[in-house]
């Protein structure tokens, strides 16, 4: 399929990449800090502070949330630190800590309130919140100095050591940048990182695999606010003067532009983006403005044009263009293969899925009535019926997504679990009607995400490398799953480049990683070409042979009739018949149901 | 009255390919029906012709003029009108406004509106009611009426019988028959094959994106392969299945 | 006590009238194009500033820019190879007429400084036309994108328009004389004629929009595009033109509110965003789709503003901005905005 089926050297892991990134950032910045002219050092600090805040915003964007108020959290960090340090005698470091903590708390509050907002309501809420913050700072003049600003902020000191040297400050700032960038870079390739990416792609899908979307979103929001608060606090202690101006809407927009430049998908991109924005700003101020004798408004116009242009032309940001040249850092294939045999649950001989007399009413409408069938061990069952027959409803009832109005469902001998993510623990896995994989991640990472519910490591473990054993196990299983569906050659391909048939097989692999005994496939052949369907049929029978049963809903009659052991036909909400493919195909009632009368 | 020719058409959404290498033509004054099970690609075909979905390959020509790249509103100006599966009515606007908007391009004279009320008397009764308050069958009639206000030369209907009671379906079919007798060229996409073949001159049967059968409606009705197209019968997959158990 | 109350109410209603025009602008634009236009307030600024210029007889750079933009698009449209000869002629003639109107009104206003109605006409024509240009440049190319992308693009437009306003008119605020000086006693309250003029004009504009939307086929076509874009296309309604029209109406209404407001608060480059945001609060109350509820919202915002200016003055703006959050939460629960599909 592509030239990327090369084997990775064992050193090309995300750990190495993150560490290298962090080290490089620190090295370059230290060089500039120590040997560059004074002006450049200030610039370096500015870029570094921007980068910290931008990294927080990038994390939010990766989770699919757009914030137009990131600078407001910087303001909180800046003002709280400054006020406590100057007017309340707090030691500077403590004041900084308090400032960051306050930002975090504000992040939690704002995040909690705005969690449920969908679509463009979230950016609007953050926009309003940001403007309220600026207005509040101005209004609280006596405490904050209002529009004229707050000055004479004491320097940042650790005990008796005062950080007054610009160069030293720059190194401190960039150490933070390096650690944050390295940590987040690593985080993104681990369990929590995959979950964050899944949030953006499809919250429902993420939930099915066990992600607590609410908690994770809140966590990301708090982290973003914390980073912004840290940036703001350091800003206060460096420039020793703050006002509402650098923390207003324009700054929030500039941060967003930096992230968009950087590609919205990686902390490294945020650093690049922050540098690019600052460079552009410098260029405009020095060159263009002087040439045309114009003031800072040209800047605004140009930034606006650039923002519009980039969004129109490259929705993926500049980083996505660079990304193609960036080598792949991913988990290499393990030397030893593990087996993904279906876990043996339930007593032998019992039905894995049993549906008796189920019915479903939606308001006054009876969607289903008296439908019964079962799926036993080592069986492939197909669920068919004309449009509107009730296949999706039946499917959702079987997996516990919908409650039946009447009747009984037994999944592995017990009623369907109340939480969809518990399906995995029962040895049951399902796929979706529309492909729901994470386009920005590699095929291997997408499959690995299927193991989320069985993992444990969180954000801290992910950032600082405490999850090596668990990740190794997860990826070993992912490799094996890919081998089963014969797509291991595509492991390091970005999922967005897959053809439909391959994407569907990746979804199956993702479902296999939890070693299910029963696999529920929702229209697995939709949109596939003939060759891809042949592969699907072969795969399903290999799974059956290895001990996994399959229930599939499908429209492609050729495929169903030649693939399944048993056919269940629905028509207008009730079961028409159950039988062998040949019987069903010849049955008068079935023909009438499909062809009409 | 136009001749429509579809050549080697390939239409898909995102990664998925829905119809492949499709050839079809409709002569002036004919009523051609496109049949097939759900998911066969019938709606996609009409959407591709109508410009709602850009084809990836192939061409659609009307009287020899290539329709590629034209937007739906431009096609309406050329007399190609679609009654979509979901009807796409303006729910909160009254019936009469819906109809008048159908005639937006043609600058509908009052006569055209009267004609629609003649065909569908129930719409005249409900002319001031909001479209969303109408029953399913009435909404379908409104959708057809709105399409007719555009004075089409080629009318395409996507599953007009879906979800409707048999009596209403009969009514609508009568109207379609009447339009045909007045010389309107019609493409009728339907899942209910028997019904469609009872009014059509010719038919094409789609199965998973390809034409597997075509002929006059008499030929198709009698053809045993018709039910195969809906319920499967080819044996390609048997080999793929059996090879797993060989060892 | 009653005096103060009535005064605040009168003040609130006047503010509300202005925000009402803004809210309507946002609603028309959003319903037809799905763009939450962060830049809407900038049309207020541009309206006020170009009105001030036209009134004082200075040459209108903005009108010239707009005319140039229209000409550029006209050339692009005429170059379409699929057009027949007659269609080409029609396009050339109609665009030429449009450009002529933009330039002629600006020139006349230039020639006759102090003429109120000419200045109004010149600025409204120019800004409404600007709206269509912005639509064609920044919305039409990405019409399939998610509302978030459209929103961020509108942020970019905000930046461009804001910078342009300062570039053309500088940072100095311009004072604009009211339509008629003086006022009248209504019971215990003194109401300026300008305030009455604002309320009356807003009311007339809203009624005109209502009649247009409900009674004319074009207006109904606009509504139809907002309700069901696909359905509108299938009726042969040119949805691109509908988008341009909605932007023109939005820009025009906002410009109107700007030139009405100018005598009260002086025209300056920074007036746009706060007004835009407050108009948004009002519109959000109606979920950005319903006119009647938006008008309630508008009154609410106007009244809140005057009352909190009175009670808590410094925190007035904070209160108004924070009002957005509960409104959004409520609206989100009632009818959440579409998330871009999988």
* Per-residue pLDDT reduced to its tens digit, C154-169: 989 998 999 898 888 8
Residue C285, pLDDT above cutoff 80:
no
The answer to whether B244 contacts A538, with C-beta atoms less than 8 Å apart, is yes
Q: Looking at residues B121-140, what average pLDDT do you find?
A: 92
Q: What is the dihedral of CA A277, A280, A281, A284, to 10 degrees?
A: -160
Q: Summarize pLDDT for A127-159 with one digit per residue, the tens.
A: 889 989 998 999 888 888 888 899 888 888 877
Q: Which residue of C137, C153, C332 is in closest CB contact with A118?
A: C332
Clarify whether residues A88 and A235 are in a common domain. Answer: yes
pLDDT grade for A2, boundaries at 50, 70 and 90: very low
Check if A433 contacts C (Cβ < 8 Å): no
Question: Which has the minimum average pLDDT: A366-380, A438-452, C135-149?
Answer: C135-149
The answer to whether C337 contacts A301, with C-beta atoms less than 8 Å apart, is no
SS3 content of chain B, % helix, strand, coil (to 5): 40, 25, 35
Clarify whether residues B221 and B104 are in a common domain. Answer: no
Residue A246, pLDDT above cutoff 60:
yes
Q: Please give the Cα distance from A107 to A72 (Å, whole number).
A: 10
Task: Determine contact, residues B229/B200, Cβ cutoff 8 Å.
Answer: no
Domain boundaries, position B228: 26-53+67-79+152-234
E strands present in A14-112: none
Residue A315 lies in a domain: no
Q: Which residue of B70, B90, B102 is in closest CB contact with C227?
A: B90
Residue A96 lies in a domain: yes
Residue A577 lies in a domain: yes
CATH code of residue A588: 3.40.50.300
pTM: 0.84
The answer to whether B193 contacts A596, with C-beta atoms less than 8 Å apart, is yes
A435 versus C238: the higher-pLDDT residue is C238
Clarify whether residues B92 and B185 are in a common domain. Answer: no
Distance from CA of A543 to the nearest CA of B (A): 10
Q: Looking at residues A29-38, what average pLDDT do you find?
A: 85
Clarify whether residues B74 and B167 are in a common domain. Answer: yes
Clarify whether residues B159 and B229 are in a common domain. Answer: yes
Q: Which residue of A116, A140, A298 is in closest CB contact with C332?
A: A116
Terminal Cα-to-Cα distance of chain C (whole angstroms): 58
Residue A580 lies in a domain: yes
Q: Summarize pLDDT for B180-205 with one digit per residue, the tens.
A: 999 999 999 987 888 899 999 999 99
Report DSSP state, residue B62: E
Clarify whether residues A237 and A362 are in a common domain. Answer: no
| pLDDT at position C279 | 79
The answer to whether B227 contacts A595, with C-beta atoms less than 8 Å apart, is yes
Clarify whether residues B31 and B74 are in a common domain. Answer: yes
Task: Spell out the alpha helix ranges (H) of chain C.
Answer: 2-33, 40-55, 61-78, 85-111, 116-134, 147-169, 193-215, 217-227, 229-234, 239-265, 272-285, 291-312, 316-322, 324-334
* H or E element, residue A460: helix A459-464
Q: Which residue of A435, A527, A563 is in closest CB contact with B241?
A: A563
Burial class (CB within 10 angstroms; exposed 0-12, middle 13-18, buried 19+) of A62: buried
ipTM: 0.90
Residue B5 lies in a domain: no
Residue A7 lies in a domain: no
* H or E element, residue B57: strand B57-62
Chain C interface mutation, best of B49, B68, B72, B146, highest count of C Cβ atoms under 10 Å: B72
Of the candidates A261, A362, A357, the one whose C-alpha atom is nearest the C-alpha of residue A318 is A261
The answer to whether B241 contacts A500, with C-beta atoms less than 8 Å apart, is no
Q: Please give the Cα distance from C31 to C290 (Å, whole number).
A: 9
> How many separate domains does chain B show?
2
Task: Give contacts of C144 with chain A, Cβ < 8 Å.
Answer: none
Task: Give contacts of C239 with chain B, Cβ < 8 Å.
Answer: 73
Residue A414, CA atoms < 13 Å, CB-side half-sphere? 11
Residue B6 lies in a domain: no
Q: What angle do CA C15, C17, C20 make, to 5 degrees?
A: 110
Against chain A, the chains showing at least 3 CB pairs within 8 Å are: B, C
Task: Give contacts of B40 with chain A, Cβ < 8 Å.
Answer: 555
Task: Give contacts of B20 with chain A, Cβ < 8 Å.
Answer: 529
Q: Summarize pLDDT for A575-590 with one digit per residue, the tens.
A: 989 999 989 988 888 8
Q: Which residue of B18, B234, B245 is in closest CB contact with A527?
A: B18
Q: Which residue of A117, A132, A253 is in closest CB contact with C318?
A: A132
Question: Which has the minimum average pLDDT: A363-367, C26-30, C255-259, C277-281?
Answer: C277-281
Residue B243 lies in a domain: no
Distance from CA of A16 to the nearest CA of C (A): 34
Q: Looking at residues A273-286, what average pLDDT do you find?
A: 83
Q: Summarize pLDDT for A492-503 with one digit per residue, the tens.
A: 888 888 888 889
Check if B222 contacts A (Cβ < 8 Å): no
The answer to whether C145 contacts A113, with C-beta atoms less than 8 Å apart, is no
Task: Give the SS3 label for residue A7.
Answer: coil
Q: Looking at residues A374-381, what average pLDDT do you find?
A: 92
Check if A434 contacts B (Cβ < 8 Å): no
Clarify whether residues B42 and B143 are in a common domain. Answer: no
Clarify whether residues B206 and B92 are in a common domain. Answer: no
> How many separate domains does chain A show?
2
Structure tokens at C113: 């400084």
Task: Determine contact, residues A66/A122, Cβ cutoff 8 Å.
Answer: yes
| 3-state secondary structure labels for all residues of C160-186 | HHHHHHHHHHCCCCECCCCCCCCEEEE
CATH code of residue B191: 3.40.50.300
The answer to whether A386 contacts B37, with C-beta atoms less than 8 Å apart, is yes
Of the candidates A215, A264, A247, the one whose C-alpha atom is nearest the C-alpha of residue A66 is A264
Domain boundaries, position A131: 17-246
- Kindly identify which residue of chain C lies nearest to residue A64, measuring between CA atoms: C148
């Amino acid at each position: 399929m592509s030239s990327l089926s090369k084997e990775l050297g064992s050193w090309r892991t995300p750990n190495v990449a993150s560490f290298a990134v962090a080290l490089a950032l620190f090295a370059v910045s230290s060089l500039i800090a120590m040997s560059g002219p004074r002006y450049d050092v200030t610039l370096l600090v500015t870029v570094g502070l921007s980068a910290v805040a931008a990294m927080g915003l990038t994390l939010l964007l990766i989770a699919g949330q757009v914030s137009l108020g990131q600078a407001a959290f910087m303001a909180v960090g800046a003002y709280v630190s400054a006020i406590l340090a100057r007017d309340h005698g707090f030691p500077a470091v403590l004041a900084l800590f308090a400032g960051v903590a306050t930002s975090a708390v504000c992040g939690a509050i704002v995040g909690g309130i705005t969690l449920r907002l969908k679509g463009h309501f979230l950016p609007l809420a953050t926009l309003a919140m940001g403007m309220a913050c600026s207005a509040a700072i101005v209004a609280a003049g006596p405490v904050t100095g209002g529009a004229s600003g707050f000055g004479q902020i004491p320097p940042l000191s650790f005990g008796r050591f005062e950080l007054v040297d610009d160069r030293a400050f720059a190194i401190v700032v960039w150490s933070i940048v390096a650690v944050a960038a390295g940590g987040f870079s690593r985080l993104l390739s681990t369990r929590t990182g995959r979950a964050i990416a899944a949030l953006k792609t499809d919250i429902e899908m993420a939930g099915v695999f066990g992600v607590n979307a609410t908690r994770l979103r809140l966590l990301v929001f708090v982290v973003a606010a914390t980073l912004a608060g840290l940036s703001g606090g350091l800003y206060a202690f460096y420039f020793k003067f703050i006002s509402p101006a650098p923390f207003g809407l324009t700054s929030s927009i500039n941060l967003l532009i930096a992230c968009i430049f950087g590609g919205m998908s990686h902390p490294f991109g945020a650093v690049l983006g922050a540098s690019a924005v600052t460079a552009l700003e410098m260029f405009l101020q020095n060159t263009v403005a002087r040439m045309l004798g114009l003031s800072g408004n040209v800047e605004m116009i140009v930034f606006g044009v650039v923002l519009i242009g980039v969004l129109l032309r490259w929705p993926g940001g500049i980083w996505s263009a660079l990304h193609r040249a960036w080598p792949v850092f991913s988990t290499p294939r393990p030397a030893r293969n593990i087996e993904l045999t279906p876990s043996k649950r339930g007593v032998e001989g019992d039905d894995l899925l049993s549906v008796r007399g189920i019915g479903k009413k939606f308001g006054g409408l009876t969607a289903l009535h008296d439908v019964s069938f079962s799926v036993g061990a080592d069986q492939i069952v197909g669920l068919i019926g004309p449009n509107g027959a009730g296949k999706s409803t039946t499917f959702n009832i079987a997996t516990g997504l919908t409650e039946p109005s009447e009747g009984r469902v037994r999944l592995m001998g017990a009623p369907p679990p109340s939480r969809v993510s518990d399906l995995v623990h029962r040895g049951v896995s399902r796929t979706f009607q529309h492909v729901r994989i994470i386009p920005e991640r590699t095929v291997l990472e997408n499959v690995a995400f299927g193991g989320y519910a069985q993992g444990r490591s969180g954000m801290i473990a992910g950032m600082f490398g405490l999850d090596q054993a668990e990740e190794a196990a997860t990826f070993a299983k992912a490799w094996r799953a890919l081998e089963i569906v014969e797509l291991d050659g595509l492991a390091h391909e970005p999922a967005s480049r897959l053809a439909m048939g391959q994407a569907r097989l990746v979804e199956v692999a993702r479902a296999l990683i939890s070693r299910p005994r029963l696999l529920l496939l929702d229209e697995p052949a939709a949109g596939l070409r003939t060759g891809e369907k042949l592969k699907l049929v072969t795969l399903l029978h290999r799974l059956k042979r290895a001990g996994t049963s399959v229930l599939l809903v499908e429209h492609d009659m050729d495929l169903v009739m030649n693939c399944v052991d048993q056919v269940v036909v629905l028509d207008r909400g009730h079961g028409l018949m159950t039988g062998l493919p040949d019987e069903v195909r010849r049955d008068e009632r079935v023909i009438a149901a499909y062809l009409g009368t | 009255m136009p001749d429509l020719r579809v050549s080697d058409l390939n239409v898909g959404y995102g990664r998925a390919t829905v119809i492949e290498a499709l050839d079809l033509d409709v002569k002036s004054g004919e009523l051609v029906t496109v049949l097939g099970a759900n998911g066969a690609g019938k709606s996609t075909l009409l959407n591709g012709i109508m410009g709602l979905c850009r084809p990836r390959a192939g061409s659609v020509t009307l009287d020899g003029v290539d329709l590629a790249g034209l937007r739906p509103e431009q096609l309406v100006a050329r007399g190609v009108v679609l009654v979509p599966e979901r009807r796409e009515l303006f729910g909160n606007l009254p019936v009469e406004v819906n109809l008048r908007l159908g005639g937006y391009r043609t600058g509908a004279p009052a006569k055209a509106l009267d004609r629609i009320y003649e065909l569908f008397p129930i719409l005249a009764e409900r002319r001031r009611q909001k479209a969303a308050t109408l029953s399913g069958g009435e909404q379908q009639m409104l959708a057809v009426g709105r399409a007719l206000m555009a004075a089409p030369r080629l009318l395409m209907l996507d599953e007009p019988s879906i979800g409707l009671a048999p009596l209403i379906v009969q009514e609508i079919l009568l109207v379609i028959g009447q339009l045909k007798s007045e010389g309107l060229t019609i493409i009728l996409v339907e899942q209910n094959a028997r019904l469609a073949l009872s009014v059509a001159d010719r038919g094409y049967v789609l199965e998973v994106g390809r034409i597997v059968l075509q002929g006059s409606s008499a030929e198709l009705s009698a053809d045993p392969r018709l039910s195969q197209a809906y319920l499967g019968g080819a044996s390609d997959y048997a080999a793929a299945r059996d090879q797993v158990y060989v060892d | 006590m009653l005096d103060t109350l009535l005064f605040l109410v009168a003040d609130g209603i006047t503010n509300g009238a202005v925000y009402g025009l803004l809210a309507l602008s946002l609603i028309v634009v959003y319903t037809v194009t799905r763009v939450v236009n962060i830049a809407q307030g900038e049309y207020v600024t541009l309206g006020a500033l170009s009105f001030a210029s036209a009134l004082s007889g200075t040459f209108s750079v903005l009108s010239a820019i707009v005319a140039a933009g229209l000409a550029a698009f006209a050339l692009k449209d005429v170059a379409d190879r699929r057009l027949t000869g007659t269609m080409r002629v029609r396009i050339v003639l109609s665009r030429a007429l449009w450009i002529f109107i933009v330039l002629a009104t600006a020139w006349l206003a230039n020639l006759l400084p102090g003429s109120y109605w000419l200045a109004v006409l010149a600025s409204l024509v120019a800004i409404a036309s600007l709206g269509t240009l912005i639509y064609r440049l920044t919305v039409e190319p990405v019409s399939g994108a998610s509302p978030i992308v459209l929103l961020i693009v509108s942020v970019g437009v905000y930046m461009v328009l804001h910078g342009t306003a300062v570039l053309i008119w500088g940072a100095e605020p311009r004072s604009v004389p009211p339509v008629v000086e003086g006022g009248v006693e209504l019971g215990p309250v003194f109401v300026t004629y300008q305030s009455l003029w604002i309320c009356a004009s807003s009311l007339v504009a809203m009624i005109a929009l209502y009649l247009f939307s409900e009674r004319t086929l074009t207006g109904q076509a606009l509504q139809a595009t907002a309700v069901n874009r696909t359905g509108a296309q299938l009726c042969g309604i040119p949805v691109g033109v509908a988008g341009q029209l909605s932007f023109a109406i939005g820009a025009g209404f906002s410009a109107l509110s700007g030139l009405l407001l100018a005598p009260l608060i002086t025209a300056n480059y920074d007036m746009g965003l706060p007004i835009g945001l407050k108009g948004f609060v009002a519109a959000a109350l109606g979920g950005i789709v319903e006119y009647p509820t938006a008008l309630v919202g508008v009154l609410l915002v106007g009244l809140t503003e005057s009352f909190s200016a009175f009670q808590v003055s410094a925190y007035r703006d904070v209160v108004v901005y924070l009002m957005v959050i509960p409104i959004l939460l409520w609206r989100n629960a009632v009818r959440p905005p579409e998330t871009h599909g999988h």
